[in-house]
Amino acid sequence: MPGSPDSVVVDGGQPGEHARSVAIIMDGNGRWAAKRGLPVAEGHRAGTKALRRTVEAAIDLGLETLVVYAFSTENWSRPEGEVDSLMDIFGETIERELPDLVRQGVRTRFIGRRDRASAVLREGMTRLEEETAGNDRLRLWVALDYGGRAELVDAARRLVEAGVAPDEIDEKVFHANLYAPELPDPDLLIRTSGELRISNFLLWQLAYAELVFTDTLWPDFGKEELEQALAAYAGRRRRFGGR
Ligand code: IPE
Ligand code: IPE
Ligand code: MG
């Protein structure tokens, strides 16, 4: 098939069973830096390089959607110096990556709260979204100041504000009030760095995602690890509660 991903390892799976939408909890930047005696900011900087590699791998492997967790609503509780450097790194990364994302056909959008980021960062986020809006090769979603609980609470608030009657609320209506209803439910969630938890990521959307955990620290993640996770996914049978 022209243009189809030929390098996806579908070990044990049927053709066409590969994951189309992948979510990643990019964890382990701090430990990566500590292991090298580097400041934590250097770990976060190295993490942005891993994201660049992973976006390229996602394109090569024919993924449709990649959603990555960059900063949680709880990450504001980190030391001020780390939060400040992370915000600077987000801004720098948007500037640095924008031309390649435009050129490579990556439509980039953000999910999460916008009101707590600096005006400069918000402006960068909006510009990246606008300048890649016409792209359709890979849909990249970056969860920044994102919390799954906050998203559900905001959806509930919107429903009440819109005066929706209790008996009109069903899963479809609720889903339509999430931050980005067009974001498909991830088929596969990958978490790096050996932690075995969700940490408030996409609580609604991950309901039936397959989970893959790897000990690799995020700055060391790349195409090979992504292929391994996709191969693990391809070997699984999803049941969605059925037989
Ligand atoms: C993930 O790496 C990046 C963010 C949460 C912003 P960490 O900074 O959490 O890395 P560890 O878990 O301390 O190693
Ligand atoms: C989750 O990682 C958030 C991101 C990767 C952005 P954390 O490092 O914040 O999660 P916990 O604290 O270990 O659960
Ligand atoms: Mg962590």
H or E stretch at 141: strand 138-146
Question: Could you tell me if residue 125 is inside a domain?
Answer: yes
Nearest protein Cα to ligand 1, atom 13 = 30
How many CA atoms, within 13 angstroms, populate the side-chain half-sphere of residue 112? 25
Question: Could you tell me if residue 11 is inside a domain?
Answer: no
Q: What's residue 17's pLDDT?
A: 75
**pLDDT digits 0-9 by tens, 130-170:** 999 999 999 999 999 999 999 999 999 999 999 999 999 99
Question: Could you tell me if residue 80 is inside a domain?
Answer: yes
Please spell the DSSP secondary structure of 17-64, one letter per residue: -S-SEEEEE---HHHHHHHTT--HHHHHHHHHHHHHHHHHHHHHTT-S
Pocket lining: 61 vs ligand 2, CB cutoff 6 Å: no
Question: Could you tell me if residue 215 is inside a domain?
Answer: yes
Q: Which residue has the tokens 């707590």?
A: 116
Question: Could you tell me if residue 9 is inside a domain?
Answer: no
**pLDDT digits 0-9 by tens, 15-25:** 447 899 999 99
Ligand 2 atom, smallest distance to 70 CA: 6
Question: Could you tell me if residue 241 is inside a domain?
Answer: no
| Strand arrangement, sheet containing 21-25 | 106-111, 138-146, 65-72, 21-25, 188-191, 210-213
Instruction: Please tell me the total count of domains within the chain.
Output: 1
Digit-by-digit pLDDT tens for the chain (243 residues) are: 333 444 444 333 344 478 999 999 999 999 999 999 999 999 999 999 999 999 999 999 999 999 999 999 999 999 999 999 999 999 999 999 999 999 999 999 999 999 999 999 999 999 999 999 999 999 999 999 999 999 999 999 999 999 999 999 999 999 999 999 999 999 999 999 999 999 999 999 999 999 999 999 999 999 999 999 999 999 999 999 999
Question: Could you tell me if residue 239 is inside a domain?
Answer: no
* DSSP helix/strand/coil, 67: strand
CATH number at residue 167: 3.40.1180.10
Mutation probe of ligand 1 site: the residue of 24, 25, 26, 29 with most atoms within 8 A of C-beta: 29
Question: Could you tell me if residue 115 is inside a domain?
Answer: yes
Per the structure, the complete domain to which residue 37 belongs is given by: 21-234
Q: What's residue 95's pLDDT?
A: 98
